[in-house]
Structure 1
Amino acid sequence: MPDFDNPTGRVLDADERRNILQVCARHRLVVLEDNAYGLFRYDGDPVPPMAALDEVGSVIYLSTFSKTISPALRVGAASLPDTMFGDAAARRSLWEDLVQRKSFVTVNTSQIAQAIVAGLLIQNGGRLGDWIRPALDWYRENRDIMLCELDSVFSPFSDQIRWSRPSGGFFLTLDLPFRFGADCADECARRDHVIVTPLSFFALDNSQDCRIRLAFSAVTPEQIRTSVTGLGHYVARRLEQKLLRLRDGGARG
């Protein structure tokens, strides 16, 4: 997910994408490029999709209308390159296998949902950029409000806490000076009335143990302000507990 990755919100720049493609071409690895959030860019210039940079036929491009039109529309698309690593027959064989397996798994996508998507695309000349503009503006404002609240609430801890400033998508990440796992998420929800997602849920090692994901899409500005304040209360309490433990340890020593 090179554009506004879930959960990190990160974007791979063009050089990173080319480097990945070179490695995958050398080892004949297929790339599944999932571009669920690519249309929701708030700042800067878009980066070409990996499928557009693909010169050998290694990228299958995945898109969805559940993020752009409505979550209830479970309609997506997979676009194959003209050849798979230069082999047109391999591409045709893969396409046939994918169509068959998709039919077995989903028993075909809702015709009503497909008709809604098709109607909107026809009505908007095959493009959704103008149609999603109100939603994009809403998400951008939510992101800016969340960043402003983070600056306000966590300024006393600026030497210990950092957060990302995403140029698009639905998420940002917050780095904490302590581990934040499922038990912490439960305490934060119960005592401070805010639900955040530990990034450790997405990791195979402990590299994300001190990082959380904050989502700013499906909430109101007031909910963002209240939630960041609640998170600030939780973090301040944890830092105070940590300081007390250090003091007690020093006193006993």
Structure 2
Amino acid sequence: MKFNYSKHVPNTDNDATGAILAAAADPKVISLAGGLPAAELFPVEDFRASANRVFDEHGAQALQYGGAAGLPALREEIIRNFLKPRQVEGAVENIAVTTGSEQAIEQIAKMFINDGDTVLVEAPTYLCTVDAFKSFGAKIVTVAMDDDGMKMDALEEALKAHPEAKLIYTIPTFQNPTGRTMPVERREQFVKLADKYGVPVLEDDPYGAIRYSGKAVPPLKHFDKTGNVIYMSSFSKILAPGFRLGFVVADEGFIKTFTIMKQIADLHSDNFSQYLVADYLAHNDVDAHIAKISKLYQHRFELMQSLIESEFPAGVKHSNPEGGMFIWCQIPGDIDTQALFDACIKQGVAFVPGDPFYAGESESGTMRLNFSNVDDDTIREGMKRLGAAITKFLNK
């Protein structure tokens, strides 16, 4: 049967990202490709206790339909545990619970983008956001980065060249894929530029709590005085991704519209998961849990970084993140990264090639490495294989 799909469906069945992840799933391959949190740190017993309390105290309600904006108790916990510590103002009416960050990105793209509309993104940026924006027919304009994130002169140049831009998307803290973090002064300038040119900002902050060095910086939303910044985050990296819970913080009028759109999509996010997470946050020290995550990730990052310097050929550049889950590398020369990926798979190790993270022209020889979900011995063996495969590829 040949289906007559809408124009929002890609006109190709080529799934490069899926193919990469499938190859990395081979049990003979050490995968440094995924963005998975460390499963051994999931607070299983604490959630078991929360589940018992939820069934005892709210059993029928937790199994019933819920409100589209999310469980009020969970939104209160978001304010207490996440917004106040990050210096973000917000009431319950400013928050909507989402089915992970992915739903927030897709719904906001749907709300802003018509065919041909312009959106501005970092180069590189989160590959699933690129796919979401493209699915709604966006014209994606990329803005250059340096080691401190999106460059403000490049952003203003893009805003001047594209006064019709509908949205700016950014990951200013421990950016995916580069791990870079935007300093305070640049964040203040970013918000002022967005206000000046009247373009809303979608700030994606799934990794911001996982800091293991340097000084914490408040989100862009902290500097927002006009309601122009839409802030989003997730429980996936700090609690467990299986709950599929995230949240959006924005102007109350925006949240009302967002909630209507979300209701059309799924009525509401998983109600039982919301009760579980709300109970967990009310009865446990989430900061202590995040500190445990950060300590482990710092160790794994430092180990991987040291092995890049000892196992990789000379001239390989890498990012130096102060938190998050990724290291961004660039191999010198005119490198076909997909061909390099294929060569590395043959040596039993996988990474994510940089190309899918670029909405426009990609940089040669780029790759993203993940350290959060691999133990020390696996990191050592994987980096040894990767270094040998890169050296062999460069010398062929």
Q: In which range does the TM-score fall when normalised by the shorter chain?
A: 0.7 to 0.9
Asked if the contact 1:163–1:173 (Cα under 8 Å) also holds between the matched residues in 2, the reply is yes
Show the counterpart of 1:108: 268
Aligned length: 225
Question: What is the DSSP-based 3-state SS (H/G/I as helix, E as strand, rest coil) of the residue aligned with 2:289?
Answer: coil
Q: Distance in 1 between matches of 2:271 and 2:319?
A: 40
Q: Supply the AA of the counterpart residue of 1:182.
A: Q
Structure 2 residue runs without a partner (length 5+):
1-170
> 1:57-99, CA deviations, whole angstroms, 9 ceiling, x for partnerless residues?
2111101111110010111111114xxxxxxxxx42x222100
Instruction: Report the Cα offset of residue 46 of structure 1.
Output: 0.6
Show the counterpart of 1:219: 374
Show the counterpart of 1:70: 240
Q: Distance in 2 between matches of 1:235 and 1:10?
A: 24
Instruction: Report the Cα offset of residue 208 of structure 1.
Output: 2.1
Asked if the contact 1:34–1:61 (Cα under 8 Å) also holds between the matched residues in 2, the reply is yes
Show the counterpart of 2:223: 53
- Report the structure number with the largest CA radius of gyration: 1
Show the counterpart of 2:282: 122
Question: What is the DSSP-based 3-state SS (H/G/I as helix, E as strand, rest coil) of the residue aligned with 1:72?
Answer: helix
Asked if the contact 2:354–2:362 (Cα under 8 Å) also holds between the matched residues in 1, the reply is no
Q: Distance in 2 between matches of 1:220 and 1:188?
A: 20
Distance change in 2, residues 1:19/1:76 (3 Å): same
The two structures have a TM-score, normalised by structure 1, of 0.84
Q: Distance in 2 between matches of 1:174 and 1:6?
A: 13
Show the counterpart of 1:87: none
Question: What is the DSSP-based 3-state SS (H/G/I as helix, E as strand, rest coil) of the residue aligned with 1:132?
Answer: helix
Asked if the contact 1:180–1:198 (Cα under 8 Å) also holds between the matched residues in 2, the reply is no
Q: Distance in 2 between matches of 1:185 and 1:107?
A: 41
Show the counterpart of 1:186: 342
Q: Distance in 1 between matches of 2:229 and 2:389?
A: 43
Asked if the contact 1:42–1:167 (Cα under 8 Å) also holds between the matched residues in 2, the reply is yes
Please tell me whether residue 39 in structure 1 is matched to residue 209 in structure 2: yes
Asked if the contact 2:325–2:371 (Cα under 8 Å) also holds between the matched residues in 1, the reply is yes
Q: Distance in 2 between matches of 1:109 and 1:207?
A: 36
Percentage identity across paired residues of the two chains: 29
Asked if the contact 2:330–2:364 (Cα under 8 Å) also holds between the matched residues in 1, the reply is no
Name the Cα RMSD after superposition.
1.5
Q: Supply the AA of the counterpart residue of 1:52.
A: H
Asked if the contact 2:213–2:322 (Cα under 8 Å) also holds between the matched residues in 1, the reply is yes
The two structures have a TM-score, normalised by structure 2, of 0.55
Q: Distance in 2 between matches of 1:132 and 1:13?
A: 22
Q: Supply the AA of the counterpart residue of 1:185.
A: F
Structure 1 residue runs without a partner (length 5+):
82-90, 242-253
Q: Distance in 2 between matches of 1:116 and 1:181?
A: 42
Show the counterpart of 1:244: none
